[in-house]
Structure 1
């Protein structure tokens, strides 16, 4: 075969095997044809995606239906188990009740009615009423109109039980407080001081009381309504009307007790005394009786040291105005309360056995409206979320109204174990993000506290939510006091809070008491001690700049007298010593103005900070037995040896005599001794004394005297001694007789060059600890704080070598 035939055969074979589409495919395509092909491919792709989506939805719907069916089966099984458990529990309770009745010789329980049987004896037709009328009467009594699953007969029985009458013919008065009691005419309202014991006479007395209170409220309302329109619309007019409305609402719980005829004698007798005095126009005696009823005999502790400042007639008025630190309130049962004006933040578990809702603000335990016959017959089962911390023996005795046993360092676990005060629920704020003493997430780094504050501040305005309600209750607020730790994460938390408060209350006096160095002993690891120093330095920078007055207080004071036995490992002992000093130092801010005036926080601040830039001060104090202190037979030397009283020393100013204190709470653990020792130069001092201290009158100097070059000294005296309650470790204070229940305290708040030495010592240490990014700014700010105590005096003449 030649080449031509071979090629022809191959060409023919290729044509036979080629597909018709390839043979008819065009070599060139139009742009419109390409676009049509693209659209067709896109439509096919979308159709496939939609088909896949429908298939997924169908599978998901089927899975959800299957899961719903399984959940319905599980729910039905749980309901069956719950019903079976309820039935078994009721059978056990019924069996126990039958045994108890048989043991006591009581008649057996009546047989239970089967489901579907008519419940109870039918209500007579003359005692029945329409459903609409019944609903209206229930609403008039502030009762729920309808309860879930409640029939008309059950609703009628609930109304009958509420009005407390044998028949439905009970009459509701249309007075200021509607009541089912039959009110007596005015001529029969005169009550006797003797409270009857017979039931009938006692019920008549309750009707007399309800009638008298109704008459007084009516007359009060009518008198306010008769005022001129401009008087009613004035601020004083609105306040008077608000007082009437509040009094009316506060008396509703009393009317409920009167209707039930179950008011105890401890309340009936004072109420009768008040009404009898008011009916005889002895209004002062009536007011005194009200005070004794509302707070004088109530089983509620007032506070730590403020408890002794509350006085009631006929006792003489206390010179301390307790309204400065305590706020009046109304409990749910209508009784008066006094709770501290305070806001407390702490970690989860740090409050111990303290509850947010305490005995003052628990709702009155009437009967549960749901616990009615045929509505919800079973008892609820309460499952606690976490293991509660049991109360200490001390708190149990306080709640029971008994004399509490003495406390010891082993029995005090939390600060709430020795607290004698009830707090308002808004005062207690728990930071649930961290647990107390948690090893995995310790609350120790300064940055952790600052980050926590910034996180919560982004979620909610803490000032508006937590602080503003307390501030707006104050008529003339002096300032705010902050008590915080500074050597852990609380320093960062407080720094964030203080900067936010300065934005909100720029000109308000804010005092910060910085508590630190807790656990900074030889047993503390070196890394922990260094972290404490770094935290204290960062806190010192911000708190010293933003606070009006910043007072560092060491938890391990370097200077302690022999009459003080302090367990440095016990926060209870440390807190007791600190509260003696700070509570005595600012007692002048709580004295009544009618008893000779008082030194406000601003007055103390102006004395120690004449330039407006020396905001850091140190706190010192001396403690003595007032019985020994007042003994004039003791000479100066013997007196100082026994009680450690105030002595005088010559200062660098020549003629000025300033008191020398026994206890120095200022943080001096990190001071660096200088080669050239210098005397301490005092710029200003504010002193407060409680007791008969022998103080030199020449030492007091007016801080506003322009022609006086020495230190500014201001003294305030209070007649009240410091009370040692049973919540204090009394064995810690051996100040003389050994059995003192009150202490004489002399305290001083001083700005001097010792502050600059402390700040410079901290700056030298933190310079080696801080990171490169923050080292320069932190050290520069600390140097600026220290330099404020170097201006305005010649430092070259104060060395010990100078004559």
Structure 2
């Protein structure tokens, strides 16, 4: 056999059986084939990940729906068992009482009345009146002879009560709110807008109000009682009944005031206005009057004040749009409420006496839940983990509607002691893993805060749970503001939050206010100061890079004017000073656009950060008595109570036209030699906000303020229309300006980007590079150097030396 021929046959057979599409046996592949395989593998991988993500989302949503359904079933079962238990216990008590009366030889109890029948003891025969005679007597008294659905007993009782009223005897009515006032007939309930000043007229007015409110509550109760059983047992039906009960309980203090004929005109006049509008069926006007009477009138974080931040027709419209910082809501009684759009995180025990469920959102059923015994025959024994913190005298007076006492550093224990606003339950989030002032597990290390955030983020999506409900309520959101400590573990917590927000809202404007001592307080132990500097540097690196604007604010100002007498050890004083500055600096973002002069957070950011990389701002301010300002600058600018206005300009090259401020809460002395000896501070951009008649120059120096080729800093100034109010919760003694008795303050605040920021960053970098470990020193120091270098580009020249000015 020919060997060559045999080998050729085998080779040909192998070629015929091989698949031409099999590319795995190929020795060489085209680049297009390799790219196609890579793209196909990438697409398959992405599709697999998307399917897995959808499956996880579906499983999570299904589990949440099942859990919500189970929770609803458990809640209904608990309420049903509680109702059955109360009825069973009531039947047992009645049976026991009947046995005792039978054993003692007493007559049996009268039969239980059916629903709708009037409660009370049977009428003796000698006191009964025939129905024909009773009708004639009622007609003689100018009373309705018969009322729809009224029984003979109820008619007789109505006659007896009218006879007792005619005899001017002090009786107690049996209405929804029992009162000793003599109620007037319905035809005499019509009130007039003008409140009488004589004694008899005021007393009759009080009787009219009590009669009208009693009639309304009776009709409300009767209407709810005649609903179908299915409607009564529904969730909406129970909520409607709870609203009626809440309204009735809330009106009891008013009835007590009416009985004593002791009601201030400041409350009586709005109440008369509400009742008069309701009697004329102008219910929208009545609701507006209720809002003006019940809702606080100042923007968070200041609290409730007499400044017209909240206004309703027919009052003049306020220049501040309260809907920007406040969200509307509905209380259990159906009334409108406003709570801040905020999420507050704090440690266990740091909220003081503040409750998560406050008076605005606490329904009647929630307050009595502890009184329900359920299926057990005995009452539950409540064990509390910690002792409840009692309310301060200031908060007790606010809840009672009285004038609160003055506050001092010795009476203020927590920030909730001087808070004057209610918060939504979702706004209060307690971190139970750590306790305030705990010596065993202090919340002081930066890594502790970051680890806590990562731990909670793995367990639950914090953005979806805490922040997204508030964000989705906003029609057009300007941005987010974060207030956090940066020299302790809160710096790590805020850094984790900010990185998560950047993943979720990449292009949103996020302002971060970094609060802390920054290691400058000499009374703090040296180890603690060094730890604070290290924490602040890590916060500075992440917050300065991820925030749209990052504003460091020290708890002890570097520039301390003579009129500022602040106790640096009091958090109450420190918070007051910071509130004056930040509320005044950002008030332009809350002005109504219809009144002009509104500057959003993005506008402020564009002014100070023209390059998009200078995100760290230097914050300064000045405070003065507005009356003194008006005397010093007569006729130069309009009054501060006008509508807001905005001016823009670009100063000359030497930026000598910029305003000077008295209080510097940015600059810190780290006792490090400056790297730029002989150089003075250069400002790139500044945004200013003035409240009061500040004598500020608007001279452009012959330059176009919108010319980007000029060398001077861009300046944008906002004139706010409302002065800063001093509340009774504010430590007004820290400002000794003017006469010393000012109720409002004029504030001039400025936010700048300047070379002073680079000096501070480099000073921090020189200190911290000797403290951190070698494994993280390079990343931290390089990050700080990159931030500082952004403030050196485009201006450094010999003309800025002090020697050149001579």
- Taking structure 1 as the reference length, the TM-score comes to 0.67
Distance, in Å, in 1 between the alignment partners of 2:684 and 2:249 is 68
Q: Which has the larger radius of gyration?
A: 1
Gaps of 5+ in 1: 1-89, 95-107, 129-162, 169-180, 182-187, 215-245, 637-649
| CA offset digits 1:99-127 (Å, max 9, x no partner) | xxxxxxxxx99957889x99954458999
| Corresponding residue of 2:546 | 546
Q: Deviations over 1:592-632 (max 9, x none)?
A: 11111400000000000000000000110000001111114
How far the C-alpha of 1:433 sits from its partner, in A, is 0.5
| Per-residue CA distance 1:644-672 (angstroms, 9 max, x = gap) | xxxxxx98824751100000010423263
CA–CA distance in 1 between the matches of 2:333 and 2:465? 25
Match in the other structure for 2:302: 305
- What secondary structure is seen at the aligned counterpart in 2 of 1:794? coil
Question: Which residues of 2 match residues 59-138 of structure 1 at below 5 A?
Answer: 111=100, 121-122=110-111
CA–CA distance in 2 between the matches of 1:772 and 1:749? Answer: 36
1:403 Cα deviation from its structure 2 partner: 1.1
Q: Residues 341, 549 of structure 1: CA spacing in aligned structure 2 closer, same or farther, 3 A cutoff?
A: same
Q: How does 1:551-566 map to 2 (within 5 A)?
A: 551-566=551-566
Match of residue 292 from structure 1: 289
Distance 1:110 1:402, change over 3 A: farther
Determine the C-alpha separation between the residues in 2 that align with 1:189 and 1:247. Answer: 34
* Higher deviation after alignment, 300-309 or 565-574: 300-309
- Displacement after TM superposition at 1:499 (Å): 0.3
Residue deviations 1:68-124, cap 9 Å, x none?
xxxxxxxxxxxxxxxxxxxxxx9xxx9xxxxxxxxxxxxx99957889x99954458
| Mapping 1:160-199, distance limit 5 Å | 192-193=190-191, 197=208
SS in 2 for 1:577: helix
Matches within 5 A, 1:226-237: none
Q: Distance in 1 between matches of 2:248 and 2:394?
A: 38
Q: What is the DSSP-based 3-state SS (H/G/I as helix, E as strand, rest coil) of the residue aligned with 1:324? A: coil
Would you say the 8 A contact 1:560–1:663 is kept in 2?
A: yes
Q: CA deviation at 1:423?
A: 0.7
Q: Which residues of 2 match residues 589-738 of structure 1 at below 5 A?
A: 589-632=589-632, 653-654=653-654, 657-670=657-670, 672-674=672-674, 676-698=677-699, 704-738=706-740
| In 1: Cα distance, 2:717 partner to 2:681 partner | 20
Closer, same or farther: CA 383–695 of 1 in aligned 2, 3 Å: same
1:746 shift after superposition? 0.2
- Per-residue deviation, residues 203-242 of structure 1 (Å, max 9, x unmatched): 656677899999xxxxxxxxxxxxxxxxxxxxxxxxxxxx
On the 8 A contact 1:625/1:736 being kept in 2, the answer is yes
Taking the aligned partners of 1:705 and 1:126, their CA distance within structure 2 comes to 82
Matches within 5 A, 1:456-495: 456-495=456-495
Q: Return the alpha-carbon distance in structure 1 between the equivalents of residues 569 and 116 of structure 2.
A: 73
Structure-2 change in CA distance of 1:388 and 1:632 (3 Å): same
Q: 2:791 matched to 1:793?
A: no
Change (3 A) 1:360 1:277: closer
Deviation at 1:398, TM superposition (A): 1.1
Q: Are 1:762 and 2:764 an aligned pair? A: yes
1:164–1:397: structure 2 CA closer, same or farther, 3 Å change rule?
farther
1:419 is aligned to 419
Equivalent in the alignment of 1:160: none
Cα 1:666–1:301, aligned 2, differ >3 Å: closer, same or farther?
closer
Contact residue 478 and residue 600 of structure 2 kept, 8 A: yes
Do the aligned partners of 2:558 and 2:665 also contact (CA within 8 Å) in 1?
A: yes
Aligned residues: 600
Change (3 A) 1:741 1:771: same
Pairwise CA distance, 1:379: 5.8
For residues 790 and 114 of structure 2, the distance between their equivalents in structure 1, rounded to whole angstroms, comes to 91
Q: 1:248 to 1:709 in 2, by over 3 A?
A: farther
Using the TM superposition, give the Cα deviation of residue 315 of structure 1 relative to its aligned residue in structure 2, in angstroms: 3.4
Deviation string 1:33-81 (CA, Å, 9 cap, x unpaired) is xxxxxxxxxxxxxxxxxxxxxxxxxxxxxxxxxxxxxxxxxxxxxxxxx
Q: How far apart, in 1, do the equivalents of 2:466 and 2:653 lie?
A: 47
Distance in 2 of aligned mates of 1:166 and 1:380: 44
Structure 2, unaligned stretches of length 5 or more?
Answer: 1-88, 118-148, 155-175, 177-185, 193-204, 226-234, 259-266, 637-649
- Corresponding residue for 1:532? 532
Q: 1:492 to 1:124 in 2, by over 3 A?
A: closer
CA-to-aligned-CA distance 1:655-710 (integer Å, 9 cap, x gap): 75110000001042326343723111100000000000000012598775324331
Alpha-carbon offset, residue 311 of structure 1: 2.8
For residues 435-481 of structure 1, give each alpha carbon's deviation from its aligned partner in whole angstroms, at most 9, with x where no partner exists. Answer: 11111111011000000000000000000000001111111110000
